[in-house]
Copies of this chain bind each other. A is one copy, B any other.
Amino acid sequence: MVTSDVEKADAPTIAERDTLSKRESGVTSASPMRLRMESFIKSKQEEIVRELEQLDGTRFTVDKWERPNGGGGITCVLQDGKVFEKAGVNTSIVYGSLPRPAIAKMRINHKALDPDVESLEFFAAGLSMVLHPHNPMAPTVHLNYRYFETANADGTPNAWWFGGGTDLTPSYLFDEDAIHFHRTIKDACDAHDKGYFPRFKKWCDEYFNVKHRHETRGVGGIFFDDLDQEEKDQEQLFSFVQDCLDAFLPSYMPIIRRRKDMPYTEKEKAWQQLRRGRYVEFNLVHDRGTAFGLQTPGARIESILMSLPLTARWQYMHEPEKGSREERMVSVLQKPVDWV
């Protein structure tokens, strides 16, 4: 198809096409993946927020925000609740334009990307969540699932991929919690590909690594990125990501219910605060998503940094006592365990 420059400039952006399509016919299984993913993560966000509000007995603050060039997000935060010190459940939809150097970098993992264009329109949709409970016996949990797509000038998809994962970060280790969390995720993975869980569990241990401390952030879970048509077809991958996200409540709710009202000492609370400090170190020093967000002009900083705990502590040369539960926790972080 030959298009003159004038026609090109007049062509609707994918943001405009999507707005029109949603208005005219809603979102169905025949809609583009962009709209199906957006619709799916928003409904999951509602479901998760509802469930957490019921558990905590506190309402989330809901901030809806729009981006000038299309897209926007919903940031739901619960602060100083009865169960959660801080809980954030965030969806964001981004329409934007990738410059040539960013395209070149992405081509390493996605050969479908056209190297001969000056810029490409892109779309990104994701759900991100971090829950930090008050009780030091109750683990922090993180989850993120996202879909990324680049578009040709006529609005058809050029390249696309899914990424995401979830990981559990206890201050005190209860083996049964780690086993339950991993078991639930493994079941979701196994339904799609027996190879997924071992592959993505390893990727998780490698990614959520506080390198300068020689410790993983927590007891792991799964992590994957860049899953595209070389992995499986789009429908299969979407279905996999849906099952992963559906597995969240069953993976975490039994754990938080067991731990939220356990008795604890001041010393145990202080240990949790030190572990929160390590969480901050990972998120600010090593997490690529956070770094990308903080560098993005016009990014909504408060939504990105909702992942940080309400409070954290850094104590010089703190060493857990020999034979203590704190020491066992650290030793597991230094040498990841296969829980299932």
Contacts of A313 in B (CB 8 A): 310-312
**Extra contacts besides A212-B294, A280-B280 (18): CB < 8 Å:** A61-B316, A61-B317, A77-B316, A77-B317, A79-B316, A86-B314, A86-B316, A88-B316, A211-B294, A212-B299, A281-B284, A284-B284, A284-B285, A285-B291, A302-B317, A306-B316, A311-B312, A311-B313
**Known: A308-B277, A311-B311, A312-B311. Contact between A317 and B285, CB under 8 A?**
no
Residues of B close to A211: CB separation below 8 A: 294
Report Cα–Cα, A133/B63, bound state, in Å: 35
- Which residues of A come within 8 Å of B, CB atoms? 61, 63, 77, 79, 86, 88, 211-213, 273, 277, 280-281, 284-285, 291, 294-295, 299, 301-302, 305-306, 308-317
Complex Cα distance, B284 from A308, in Å, reads 13
Contact B294 A285 (CB under 8 A): yes
Chain B residue at minimum C-beta to C-beta distance from A295: B212
Contact of A310 among B302, B305, B315, B317 (CB under 8 A): B315
Q: A213: nearest residue on chain B (CB-CB)? A: B301
Tell me, rounded to whole Å, the shortest Cβ–Cβ distance linking A38 to chain B. 23
User: With A and B bound together, what is the CA distance between A317 and B300 in angstroms?
Assistant: 11
Query: A317's closest neighbor in chain B, by CB?
Result: B302
Q: Contacts of A284 on B, CB cut-off 8 Å?
A: 280-281, 284-285
Partner of A308, one of B77, B213, B294, B314: B314
* CB-CB nearest 4 A-B residue pairs: A284-B284, A308-B314, A212-B294, A77-B316
13 A-B residue pairs with Cβ-Cβ distance under 8 Å, sorted by A, are A61-B317, A77-B316, A86-B316, A88-B316, A212-B299, A281-B284, A281-B305, A302-B317, A308-B314, A310-B313, A311-B312, A312-B313, A312-B314
Partner of A314, one of B309, B315, B316: B309
- Report how far A213 CA is from B300 CA in the complex, Å: 10
Closest chain B CB from A305 CB (angstroms):
6
CA separation between A312 and B212, bound complex, in Å? 20
CA distance A151 to B294 in the complex (A): 39
Contact of A212 among B281, B301, B306 (CB under 8 A): B301
Contacts of A295 in B (CB 8 A): 212
Taking the nearest CB of chain B, how far is it from the CB of A289, in angstroms? 13
Nearest CB of chain B from residue A3's CB, rounded to whole Å:
39
Complex Cα spacing A273 to B315, Å = 15
A273 touches B311 (CB 8 A): yes
Q: Could you tell me the distance between the alpha carbons of A284 and B63 in the complex, rounded to whole angstroms?
A: 27
Give CA–CA (A184, B245) in the complex, Å: 58
For the complex, what is the distance from the CA of A86 to the CA of B318, rounded to whole Å?
13
Chain B contacts for A294, CB-based, 8 A: 211-212, 285
A164 to chain B, nearest CB (A): 23
Which residues from B are CB-within-8-Å of A281? 284, 305
The residue of chain B having its C-beta at the shortest distance from the C-beta of A284 within the complex is B284
Which of A63, A77, A284, A312 is packed against the most chain B CB atoms within 10 Å?
A: A312
- In whole Å, how far is A53's beta carbon from the nearest beta carbon of chain B? 16
**Distance of A63 Cα from B316 Cα, bound (Å):** 11
Residue in B213, B302, B311, B312 whose CB lies within 8 Å of A316: B302
